[in-house]
Structure 1
Amino acid sequence: MGPVHARIVATLTEQFHPAKLDVVDESHLHAGHAGARPEGETHFRVIIEAEDFRGVSRVARHRLINEALAAELAGPVHALAIRAEAPTEAA
Protein backbone atom coordinates (compact mmCIF):
# COMPACT_ATOMS: atom_id res chain seq x y z
CA MET A 1 0.00 0.00 0.00
CA GLY A 2 1.46 3.31 -1.09
CA PRO A 3 1.06 6.67 0.63
CA VAL A 4 -1.80 7.88 -1.59
CA HIS A 5 -3.69 4.62 -1.04
CA ALA A 6 -3.12 4.94 2.72
CA ARG A 7 -4.45 8.54 2.75
CA ILE A 8 -7.56 7.52 0.82
CA VAL A 9 -8.27 4.68 3.27
CA ALA A 10 -7.62 6.90 6.31
CA THR A 11 -9.73 9.78 5.00
CA LEU A 12 -12.72 7.64 4.05
CA THR A 13 -12.52 5.70 7.32
CA GLU A 14 -12.42 8.88 9.39
CA GLN A 15 -15.13 10.65 7.39
CA PHE A 16 -17.66 7.83 6.92
CA HIS A 17 -16.87 5.05 9.46
CA PRO A 18 -17.67 2.45 6.78
CA ALA A 19 -19.02 -1.02 7.42
CA LYS A 20 -17.04 -2.05 4.34
CA LEU A 21 -14.22 -0.32 2.50
CA ASP A 22 -12.12 -1.59 -0.38
CA VAL A 23 -9.66 0.73 -2.08
CA VAL A 24 -7.94 -0.78 -5.09
CA ASP A 25 -5.03 0.82 -6.95
CA GLU A 26 -5.81 0.14 -10.62
CA SER A 27 -3.02 2.33 -11.96
CA HIS A 28 -1.28 -0.60 -13.65
CA LEU A 29 -4.35 -0.99 -15.88
CA HIS A 30 -3.88 2.57 -17.18
CA ALA A 31 -0.16 2.60 -17.97
CA GLY A 32 0.45 4.92 -20.91
CA HIS A 33 -2.93 6.64 -20.56
CA ALA A 34 -3.52 10.27 -19.64
CA GLY A 35 -2.72 11.01 -16.02
CA ALA A 36 -0.77 7.78 -15.47
CA ARG A 37 2.64 8.00 -13.81
CA PRO A 38 5.28 5.26 -13.75
CA GLU A 39 5.18 5.11 -9.94
CA GLY A 40 1.41 4.44 -10.01
CA GLU A 41 -1.17 5.60 -7.46
CA THR A 42 -3.10 7.58 -10.07
CA HIS A 43 -6.20 5.45 -10.71
CA PHE A 44 -8.28 3.99 -7.88
CA ARG A 45 -11.51 2.08 -7.40
CA VAL A 46 -13.41 2.65 -4.12
CA ILE A 47 -16.12 0.33 -2.86
CA ILE A 48 -17.65 1.65 0.34
CA GLU A 49 -20.70 0.88 2.46
CA ALA A 50 -21.61 3.39 5.14
CA GLU A 51 -24.72 4.47 7.00
CA ASP A 52 -24.05 8.04 5.82
CA PHE A 53 -25.25 6.94 2.37
CA ARG A 54 -28.66 5.64 3.48
CA GLY A 55 -31.38 7.59 1.69
CA VAL A 56 -28.82 9.60 -0.30
CA SER A 57 -28.85 9.59 -4.11
CA ARG A 58 -26.02 7.99 -6.03
CA VAL A 59 -24.88 11.39 -7.33
CA ALA A 60 -24.87 12.87 -3.81
CA ARG A 61 -22.88 9.89 -2.47
CA HIS A 62 -20.26 10.41 -5.17
CA ARG A 63 -20.11 14.12 -4.37
CA LEU A 64 -19.55 13.37 -0.67
CA ILE A 65 -16.64 11.08 -1.50
CA ASN A 66 -15.17 13.52 -4.02
CA GLU A 67 -15.35 16.29 -1.41
CA ALA A 68 -13.68 14.08 1.21
CA LEU A 69 -10.87 13.23 -1.23
CA ALA A 70 -10.53 16.70 -2.78
CA ALA A 71 -6.83 17.00 -1.90
CA GLU A 72 -5.98 13.69 -3.56
CA LEU A 73 -8.14 14.45 -6.60
CA ALA A 74 -6.44 17.84 -7.00
CA GLY A 75 -3.02 16.23 -7.00
CA PRO A 76 -1.89 12.66 -7.36
CA VAL A 77 -5.18 10.93 -8.23
CA HIS A 78 -6.21 11.21 -11.87
CA ALA A 79 -9.28 8.93 -11.79
CA LEU A 80 -11.55 7.53 -9.12
CA ALA A 81 -14.21 4.90 -9.73
CA ILE A 82 -16.78 4.81 -6.92
CA ARG A 83 -19.39 2.36 -5.72
CA ALA A 84 -20.96 3.82 -2.59
CA GLU A 85 -23.95 2.26 -0.85
CA ALA A 86 -25.62 1.97 2.51
CA PRO A 87 -24.99 -1.37 4.26
CA THR A 88 -27.54 -4.06 3.56
CA GLU A 89 -29.12 -5.96 6.41
CA ALA A 90 -28.75 -9.72 6.50
CA ALA A 91 -31.97 -11.56 5.77
Structure 2
Amino acid sequence: MTQDSKGPVATEIEARLRAALQPQQLAVLNDSAKHRGHTGDDGTGESHFTVEIVSGAFAGQNRVARQRLVNRALADLLREKVHALAIKAKAPGESL
Protein backbone atom coordinates (compact mmCIF):
# COMPACT_ATOMS: atom_id res chain seq x y z
CA MET A 1 0.00 0.00 0.00
CA THR A 2 1.45 3.35 -0.94
CA GLN A 3 1.39 6.47 1.18
CA ASP A 4 -1.05 8.02 -1.32
CA SER A 5 -3.67 5.25 -1.12
CA LYS A 6 -5.76 5.10 2.02
CA GLY A 7 -6.63 1.78 3.53
CA PRO A 8 -9.29 1.16 6.15
CA VAL A 9 -7.09 2.04 9.14
CA ALA A 10 -5.88 5.34 7.64
CA THR A 11 -9.45 6.18 6.65
CA GLU A 12 -10.65 5.49 10.20
CA ILE A 13 -7.85 7.59 11.71
CA GLU A 14 -8.84 10.50 9.47
CA ALA A 15 -12.56 10.18 10.25
CA ARG A 16 -12.02 10.03 13.99
CA LEU A 17 -9.68 13.01 14.08
CA ARG A 18 -12.05 15.07 11.94
CA ALA A 19 -14.95 14.25 14.26
CA ALA A 20 -13.05 14.81 17.52
CA LEU A 21 -10.88 17.82 16.67
CA GLN A 22 -12.45 19.56 13.64
CA PRO A 23 -9.03 20.26 12.10
CA GLN A 24 -8.33 23.02 9.62
CA GLN A 25 -5.60 20.81 8.14
CA LEU A 26 -5.13 17.07 8.42
CA ALA A 27 -2.77 14.64 6.76
CA VAL A 28 -2.59 10.95 7.66
CA LEU A 29 0.62 9.54 6.23
CA ASN A 30 1.14 5.79 6.04
CA ASP A 31 4.76 5.07 7.02
CA SER A 32 4.32 1.29 7.14
CA ALA A 33 6.43 0.53 4.07
CA LYS A 34 9.44 2.05 5.83
CA HIS A 35 9.00 -0.50 8.63
CA ARG A 36 8.31 -3.67 6.63
CA GLY A 37 9.80 -6.64 8.47
CA HIS A 38 10.38 -4.68 11.69
CA THR A 39 8.76 -5.32 15.04
CA GLY A 40 5.15 -4.25 14.91
CA ASP A 41 4.74 -4.82 11.17
CA ASP A 42 1.66 -6.99 11.05
CA GLY A 43 1.76 -7.46 7.27
CA THR A 44 -1.35 -5.36 6.60
CA GLY A 45 0.59 -2.37 5.33
CA GLU A 46 -1.19 -0.24 7.94
CA SER A 47 0.77 -0.37 11.18
CA HIS A 48 2.86 2.83 11.25
CA PHE A 49 1.50 6.35 10.67
CA THR A 50 2.33 10.03 10.94
CA VAL A 51 -0.48 12.49 11.63
CA GLU A 52 -0.01 16.16 10.77
CA ILE A 53 -2.90 18.14 12.21
CA VAL A 54 -3.79 21.79 12.75
CA SER A 55 -6.76 22.36 15.05
CA GLY A 56 -8.16 25.13 17.22
CA ALA A 57 -8.49 22.48 19.95
CA PHE A 58 -4.71 22.75 20.40
CA ALA A 59 -4.67 26.49 21.14
CA GLY A 60 -3.07 27.10 24.54
CA GLN A 61 -2.16 23.40 24.89
CA ASN A 62 1.40 22.14 25.28
CA ARG A 63 2.82 19.34 23.11
CA VAL A 64 1.90 16.57 25.57
CA ALA A 65 -1.70 17.78 25.95
CA ARG A 66 -2.05 17.94 22.16
CA GLN A 67 -0.77 14.40 21.77
CA ARG A 68 -3.16 13.21 24.46
CA LEU A 69 -6.12 14.69 22.55
CA VAL A 70 -5.05 12.79 19.42
CA ASN A 71 -4.38 9.59 21.35
CA ARG A 72 -7.76 9.79 23.07
CA ALA A 73 -9.56 10.04 19.71
CA LEU A 74 -7.67 6.97 18.46
CA ALA A 75 -7.37 4.95 21.67
CA ASP A 76 -8.73 1.57 20.55
CA LEU A 77 -6.98 1.78 17.17
CA LEU A 78 -3.69 2.37 18.97
CA ARG A 79 -4.32 -0.68 21.18
CA GLU A 80 -5.51 -3.00 18.42
CA LYS A 81 -4.26 -1.96 14.98
CA VAL A 82 -1.62 0.78 15.02
CA HIS A 83 1.87 -0.07 16.22
CA ALA A 84 3.39 3.40 15.90
CA LEU A 85 1.99 6.90 15.53
CA ALA A 86 4.05 10.07 15.10
CA ILE A 87 2.06 13.22 15.84
CA LYS A 88 2.71 16.74 14.57
CA ALA A 89 -0.03 18.79 16.22
CA LYS A 90 -0.27 22.57 15.88
CA ALA A 91 -2.78 25.31 16.63
CA PRO A 92 -3.90 27.63 13.80
CA GLY A 93 -1.15 30.11 12.97
CA GLU A 94 1.65 27.72 13.96
CA SER A 95 3.58 26.10 11.14
CA LEU A 96 3.82 22.32 10.81
TM-score by length of 2: 0.90
Residue 53 (structure 1) aligns with = 58
Q: How many residues were matched structurally?
A: 89
What amino acid is aligned across from residue 34 of structure 1 in structure 2? T
Runs of 4+ in 1 over 4 A off after TM superposition: none
What amino acid is aligned across from residue 81 of structure 1 in structure 2? A
> Is residue 2:82 matched to residue 1:77?
yes
TM-aligned CA deviation for residue 17 of structure 1: 0.6
Counterpart among 42, 51, 63 of residue 47 in structure 2: 42
TM-aligned CA deviation for residue 18 of structure 1: 0.3
> How many percent of aligned residue pairs carry the same amino acid?
48
> Is residue 2:91 matched to residue 1:86?
yes
- Written as runs of structure 1 = structure 2, the 5 A alignment for 1:13-24 is 13-24=18-29
Unaligned segments of structure 1, at least 5 residues: none
Residue 63 (structure 1) aligns with = 68
Unaligned segments of structure 2, at least 5 residues: 1-5
TM-score by length of 1: 0.94
Distance 2:47 2:61 in 1: 28
What amino acid is aligned across from residue 82 of structure 2 in structure 1? V
Residue 10 (structure 1) aligns with = 15
